[in-house]
């Protein structure tokens, strides 16, 4: 939500990885979302309900490393190796 934007921009959005089946083990519990500002876009098909935007994030582990099983991380690796 708009109220959570500052928290997101400060890389303080945390989610429990184990809440998504098969995503992480209990030992990898807390995952952090770091927004990629280049992906920010206002969604034009929702103007009647107020502005809605999307912001895609990279997933990091608690040590600050990109999460290796994230689809964005995998894609970035494949592109860099091409």
Architecture of the 2-81 domain: Roll (3.10)
5 pLDDT exceeds 60?
Answer: yes
pLDDT digits (tens, 9 = 90+) for 8-45: 777 777 776 655 555 555 555 788 889 999 999 988 87
Instruction: Give exposure, 36-67, as e/b (b: 16+ Cβ within 10 Å).
Output: eeeeeeeeeeeeeeeeeeeeebbbbbeeeeeb
11 exposure class (CB count in 10 Å sphere: 0-12, 13-18, 19+): middle
Band of pLDDT at residue 46, cut at 50, 70 and 90: low
């Amino acid at each position: 939500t708009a109220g959570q934007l500052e928290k997101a921009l400060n890389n303080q959005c945390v989610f429990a990885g184990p809440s998504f089946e098969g995503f992480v083990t209990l030992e990898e519990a807390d995952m952090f979302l770091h927004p990629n500002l280049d992906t920010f876009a206002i969604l034009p098909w929702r103007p009647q309900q107020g502005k809605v935007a999307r912001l895609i994030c990279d997933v990091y582990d608690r040590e600050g490393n990109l999460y290796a099983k994230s689809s964005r991380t995998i894609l970035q690796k494949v592109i860099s190796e091409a």
